[in-house]
């Protein structure tokens, strides 16, 4: 137990310094490790690291309070609304059982900041991610934000809405990363990217992710460690 607490403390110190950590969700869920860090601290080099060393989708998880204040919908809700408005998209809306490890996905809008060009470059994505972090910080502090004035959609940075009750409701990477942000006392907007294995074509194994962390001196966290720290 003491070792687990020390590991969480190391992760907290790391994200507070603007560094990346690795979070493995669970053997009983996705069984994936994500590279995670604060959205406010991301640089173009961090984006390059994630696409090169992780290879998954570079997303930004957002605290539910900020998502509500910024009026960020779930994509599934948008599709249901579009279906009711006459667009024939009902068949693609996720249904119960579609996601084998969860009840539903966390996807919200995909955005670019309005100052970006194509939106996909490391520089453009870092700018968008930084500005998302800024918007979350301001909204959490009670400031009114005109999200549409700052961002446009569709874009190249997917937003993820954490569940309203965080880990008490859902224990995905989205909620784990936001819970870590809360433990660290930083803005609850976290960048995350799944680590993939080009050799197997699957997610990078837990052992492979641990080796990656060991070689680079990074903190490797299990989801249960974050959950236990939040329950203390």
Catalytic positions, please? 34, 59, 101, 112, 156, 194
Tokens linked to 49: 């690291």
The vertex-76 CA angle with 95 and 153, nearest 5°, equals: 155
- 154 upstream amide cis, omega within 30 of 0: yes
H-helix or E-strand spanning residue 24: strand 21-24
**Distance from C-alpha of 115 to C-alpha of 123, rounded to nearest angstrom:** 11
In terms of Cα–Cα distance, which of 159, 198, 162, 191 is closest to 53? 198
């Amino acid at each position: 137990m003491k070792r687990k607490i020390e590991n969480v403390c190391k992760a907290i110190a790391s994200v507070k310094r603007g560094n990346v950590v690795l979070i493995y969700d669970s053997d009983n869920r996705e069984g994936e490790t994500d590279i995670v860090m604060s959205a406010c601290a991301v640089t173009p080099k961090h984006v390059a690291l994630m696409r090169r060393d992780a290879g998954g989708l570079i997303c930004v998880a957002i605290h539910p309070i900020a998502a509500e204040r910024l009026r960020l919908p779930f994509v599934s809700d948008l599709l249901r609304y579009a279906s009711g408005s006459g667009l024939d998209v009902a068949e693609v809306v996720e249904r119960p059982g579609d996601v084998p490890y969860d009840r539903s996905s966390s996807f919200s809008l995909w955005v670019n900041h309005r100052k970006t060009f194509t939106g996909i470059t490391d520089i453009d994505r870092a700018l968008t991610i930084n500005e998302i972090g800024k918007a979350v910080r301001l909204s959490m502090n009670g400031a009114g934000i005109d999200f549409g004035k700052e961002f446009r959609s569709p874009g190249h940075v997917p937003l993820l809405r954490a569940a309203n009750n965080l880990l008490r409701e859902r224990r995905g990477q989205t909620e784990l990363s936001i819970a870590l942000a809360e433990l660290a006392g930083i803005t609850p907007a976290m960048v995350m990217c799944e680590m993939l294995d080009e050799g197997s074509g699957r997610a990078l194994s837990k052992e492979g992710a641990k080796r990656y962390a060991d070689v680079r001196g990074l903190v490797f966290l299990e989801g249960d460690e974050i959950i236990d720290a939040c329950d203390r």
